[in-house]
């Protein structure tokens, strides 16, 4: 019994199979790259960028606001490195990605579904008319979520954990709110906890003049945003309020905290030192001004 094998037909079929697989992989890669580019464009057009500026006054500020300096991931999976191929659009996208990363790392509960919801919401805000729904970009969103769930680069983490980033960490909430009411009578505030609404930092809050951070991790993100992005403005009295920033944030200075504790509670105050300072028996003579001195009201 003889079996006829047409080697030419087999080779032709194998060739067609390989060509088909190669074409599918190539098309998939091109489509993924196109979706990634549209996501970067969406991030780069987010309204939060309009409130950012270089702390050193450089214009345009984008290169000076790109603080990501790390080989934290392998190049194949690093969305920051991929964004670097898109020029100024990529630089602005990297600024937004790092800001989102910092916000995510400040959340006590960082479950993947919540991070995915935050990232998807930010991307959807930047998609233009006629562009696909954010659900079409789930592969790129998945890459970003995986990145943001990892620890921050060491240098950025070191800045966030600096004690000056949470000046009133030891101040109880009722005292903080009482100090705010005395400094800002009849001013509408938002008692802000980043874990309740992480995306609120990216938008102006209509009708709200001042944010009051309710915990240290919220204050750290606000302080980083002011120090590194010039996005918000620290206020200690009515005269400090500004309308050209994304938000004003109330962070009382060390002297105000000391004086409040002395006046209301008359107890021993500890501030960034192992030395015990006992409140004096008489009231300070120069406390009539509603604003603090420049040294105590400077941004952290």
* 85 and 13 co-located in one domain: yes
* 66 and 191 co-located in one domain: no
* 174 and 197 co-located in one domain: yes
Structure confidence at residue 76 (pLDDT): 58
**Domain end position, chosen among 154, 178, 202:** 154
Q: How far apart are CA 248 and CA 208, in angstroms?
A: 9
Token duo for residue 126: 């930047």
* 118 and 196 co-located in one domain: no
* 213 and 282 co-located in one domain: yes
Q: What is the pLDDT of residues 45-97, one digit of tens each?
A: 999 999 999 888 888 889 999 988 765 555 556 899 889 889 999 999 999 99
Q: What is the pLDDT of residues 138-190, one digit of tens each?
A: 999 999 999 999 999 888 999 888 887 877 766 778 888 888 888 899 899 99
**Domain end position, chosen among 120, 135, 154:** 154
Token duo for residue 281: 């028996």
Cα distances (Å, whole numbers) of residue 47 to 5, 109, 132, 251: 66, 26, 19, 25
* 220 and 136 co-located in one domain: no
Q: What is the pLDDT of residues 96-120, one digit of tens each?
A: 999 999 999 999 888 888 999 999 9
* 142 and 243 co-located in one domain: no
Domain count, the chain: 2
* 28 and 115 co-located in one domain: yes
Max Cα–Cα distance, the chain, nearest Å:
117
* 141 and 217 co-located in one domain: no
* Domain boundaries, position 38: 7-154
Res. 38 pLDDT band, cuts 50 70 90: very high
Structure confidence at residue 98 (pLDDT): 95
**Domain end position, chosen among 91, 119, 154:** 154
Token match 């004086």: residue?
259
Give domain status of residue 1, yes or no. Answer: no
Q: How far apart are CA 300 and CA 290, in angstroms?
A: 20
> How buried is 6 (Cβ within 10 angstroms: 0-12 exposed, 13-18 middle, 19+ buried)?
exposed
Give domain status of residue 125, yes or no. Answer: yes
Q: Is the pLDDT of residue 201 over 70?
A: yes
Token duo for residue 218: 């919220």
Give domain status of residue 2, yes or no. Answer: no
Res. 297 pLDDT band, cuts 50 70 90: very low
Mean pLDDT of the chain: 79
* 149 and 222 co-located in one domain: no
């Amino acid at each position: 019994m003889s079996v006829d094998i047409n080697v030419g037909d087999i080779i032709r079929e194998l060739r067609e199979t390989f060509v088909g697989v190669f074409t599918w992989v190539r098309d998939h890669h091109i489509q993924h790259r196109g979706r990634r580019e549209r996501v970067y464009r969406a991030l780069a057009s987010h309204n939060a960028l309009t409130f950012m500026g270089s702390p050193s006054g450089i214009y345009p500020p984008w290169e000076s606001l790109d603080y990501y300096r790390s080989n934290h991931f392998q190049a194949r999976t690093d969305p920051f490195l991929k964004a670097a191929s898109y020029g100024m659009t990529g630089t602005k996208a990297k600024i937004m990605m790092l800001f989102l990363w910092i916000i995510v790392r400040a959340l006590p509960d960082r479950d993947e579904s919540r991070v995915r919801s935050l990232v998807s919401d930010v991307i959807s805000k930047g998609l233009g008319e006629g562009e696909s729904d954010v659900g079409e970009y789930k592969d790129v969103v998945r890459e970003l979520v995986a990145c943001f769930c990892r620890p921050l680069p060491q240098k950025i983490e070191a800045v966030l954990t600096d004690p000056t980033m949470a000046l009133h960490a030891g101040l109880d909430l009722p005292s903080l709110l009482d100090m705010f009411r005395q400094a800002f009578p009849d001013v509408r505030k938002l008692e802000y906890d980043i874990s309740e609404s992480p995306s609120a930092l990216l938008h102006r809050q209509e009708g709200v003049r001042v944010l009051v951070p309710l915990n240290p991790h919220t204050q750290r993100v606000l302080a980083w945003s002011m120090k590194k992005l010039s996005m918000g403005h620290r206020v200690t009295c009515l005269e400090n309020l500004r309308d050209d920033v994304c938000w004003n944030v109330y962070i009382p200075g060390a002297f105000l905290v000391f004086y409040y504790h002395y006046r209301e509670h008359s107890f021993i105050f500890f501030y960034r030192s192992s030395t015990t300072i006992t409140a004096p028996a008489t009231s300070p003579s120069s406390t009539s001004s509603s604003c603090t001195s420049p040294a105590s009201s400077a941004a952290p």
